[in-house]
Structure 1
Amino acid sequence: MIDAISTRLATGIKNTVSDHPASHAVLKFAIAVILNVSFIILLTLVVSLFTGRTAEVGLILISFALLRQVSGGMHLKSGTACVLFTTLLFTLLSYVNVSNMYVEIMNVVSLTLVLWLAPIGIERQTRIPKRHWTKLKIIAAALIVSNIVLCSPVIAASFLAQSISLLISWRGVKSL
Structure 2
Amino acid sequence: MINMMANRIAVQIKRTAPDHPASIAVLRYSIALLLNAVLIITLTLLLSAFTGRTHEVLVILVSFALLRQVSGGIHLNSGMKCVLATTALFTMLSLIELSAFYMVILNVIAAMLCLLFAPSRIQQQTRIPVQYYPLLKWISVLIVCSNFLIMSPVLSLSFAAQSMLLIKLRR
What is the TM-score of this pair, normalised by structure 1?
0.94
Deviation, structure 1 residue 83: 0.6
Give the residue type in structure 1 aligned to 2:58. G
Deviation, structure 1 residue 125: 1.0
Equivalent residues in 2 for 1:71-110, closer than 5 Å: 71-110=71-110
Q: Percent identity?
A: 51
| Secondary structure in structure 2 of the residue aligned to 1:80 | helix
Give the residue type in structure 1 aligned to 2:42. L
Taking the aligned partners of 2:154 and 2:170, their CA distance within structure 1 comes to 27
Query: In the alignment, what sits opposite 1:171?
Result: 169
Deviation, structure 1 residue 172: 6.2
Give the residue type in structure 2 aligned to 1:45. L
Query: In the alignment, what sits opposite 1:28?
Result: 28
Deviation string 1:61-116 (CA, Å, 9 cap, x unpaired) is 01100000000001111111111110100000001211111001000000000011
Structure 1: 4+ residue segments shifted above 4 A: none
Taking the aligned partners of 1:107 and 1:155, their CA distance within structure 2 comes to 9
Query: In the alignment, what sits opposite 1:57?
Result: 57
Deviation, structure 1 residue 47: 0.4
What is the TM-score of this pair, normalised by structure 2?
0.97
Query: In the alignment, what sits opposite 2:41?
Result: 41
Taking the aligned partners of 2:116 and 2:55, their CA distance within structure 1 comes to 31
What CA RMSD, in Å, does the superposition of the two structures yield over aligned residues?
Answer: 1.2
| Secondary structure in structure 2 of the residue aligned to 1:94 | helix
Give the residue type in structure 2 aligned to 1:39. L
Deviation, structure 1 residue 171: 2.5
Gaps of 5+ in 1: none
| Secondary structure in structure 1 of the residue aligned to 2:165 | helix
| Secondary structure in structure 1 of the residue aligned to 2:95 | coil
The answer to whether the 8 A contact 1:95-1:154 is kept is no
Give the residue type in structure 2 aligned to 1:144. V
Query: In the alignment, what sits opposite 2:140?
Result: 140
